[in-house]
């Protein structure tokens, strides 16, 4: 990964928009902060069998649309919107199996202590995201947690990132968006915010790199170090 360089008070990263001193980070949730892939697979399979019936649940196709709002994915896949009810029910029931990725808690605490503010902008509904983070004991670290049901247009539209930046009280040049899906990067780019690809989850790193993120980080510790440099 290319090194940061300095130009007066502006920090630049090759390929990234010029920005002022970093003040805020907007995170996607699944695949970045939490490892929920197994729960997601089980919830999807249960919802598919309850609503559609027999046959193999097309979970691999579903994963190609991660980052989007669940009803939008159902429409894109031609599946019944009625799948949302059992999917959400099972996601709540199995939430105790979701874990924070190794290093995430330390990364959040270190950056929080340095004065950086956080928001979550997720494809989940807001209530479900807030419930999950509360159960994991880290909800208090985030100033705002925004779900796709709380904006007019979900990712890849810029609405949810712009909403997060507005609530955090920073400019787009003072914020970055961290995601693990092409949809996240597209949303960040449309919002005019530096797009950081996190490649420690279940996503395809090659696909993310091909989407042209401004920055690629391979671990929460690497993201922490990058943010510290951008904050300095």
**Domain residue extents for the chain:** 5-35+98-231, 37-97
Catalytic residues: 28, 30
Superfamily of domain 5-35+98-231: HAD superfamily/HAD-like (3.40.50.1000)
CB atoms within 10 A of CB 96: 10
172-202: burial string, b at 16+ Cβ within 10 Å, e else: bbbbbbbbbbbbbbbbbbbbbbbbbbbbbbe
What is the C-alpha separation between 127 and 142, in angstroms, rounded?
A: 14
Helix axes of 37-51 and 84-93: crossing angle, nearest 10 degrees: 140
Q: At 16, is the secondary structure helix, strand, or coil?
A: coil
Angle at 98 between CA 22 and CA 38, to 5 degrees: 110
Pair of tokens at residue 142: 């985030």
Per-residue model confidence as pLDDT tens for the chain (232 residues): 333 333 333 333 434 554 679 999 999 999 999 999 999 999 999 999 999 998 999 999 999 998 899 999 999 999 999 999 999 999 999 999 999 999 999 999 999 999 999 999 999 999 999 999 999 999 999 999 999 999 999 999 999 999 999 999 999 999 999 999 999 999 999 999 999 999 999 888 999 999 999 999 999 999 999 999 999 8
Instruction: Report pLDDT for 203.
Output: 80
């Amino acid at each position: 990964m290319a090194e940061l360089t300095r130009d007066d008070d502006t920090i630049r990263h090759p390929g990234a928009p010029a920005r002022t001193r970093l003040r805020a980070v907007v995170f996607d949730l699944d695949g970045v902060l939490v490892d929920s892939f197994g729960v997601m697979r089980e919830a999807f399979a249960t919802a598919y069998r309850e609503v559609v019936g027999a046959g193999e649940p097309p979970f691999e196709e579903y994963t190609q649309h991660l980052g989007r709002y669940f009803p939008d994915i159902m429409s894109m896949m031609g599946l019944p919107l009625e799948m949302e009810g059992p999917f959400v029910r099972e996601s709540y029931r199995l939430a105790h199996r979701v874990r924070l990725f190794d290093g995430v808690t330390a990364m959040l605490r270190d950056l929080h202590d340095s004065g950086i503010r956080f928001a979550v902008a997720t494809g989940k509904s807001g209530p479900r995201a807030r419930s999950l983070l509360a159960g994991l004991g880290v909800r208090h670290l985030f100033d705002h947690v925004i779900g796709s049901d709380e904006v007019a247009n979900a990712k890849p539209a810029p609405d949810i990132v712009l909403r997060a930046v507005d609530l955090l009280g920073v400019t787009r040049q003072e914020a970055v968006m961290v995601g693990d899906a092409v949809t996240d990067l597209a949303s960040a780019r449309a919002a005019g915010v530096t797009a950081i690809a996190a490649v420690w989850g279940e996503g395809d790193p090659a696909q993310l790199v091909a989407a042209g993120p401004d920055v690629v980080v391979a671990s929460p510790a690497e993201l922490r170090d990058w943010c510290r440099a951008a904050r300095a």
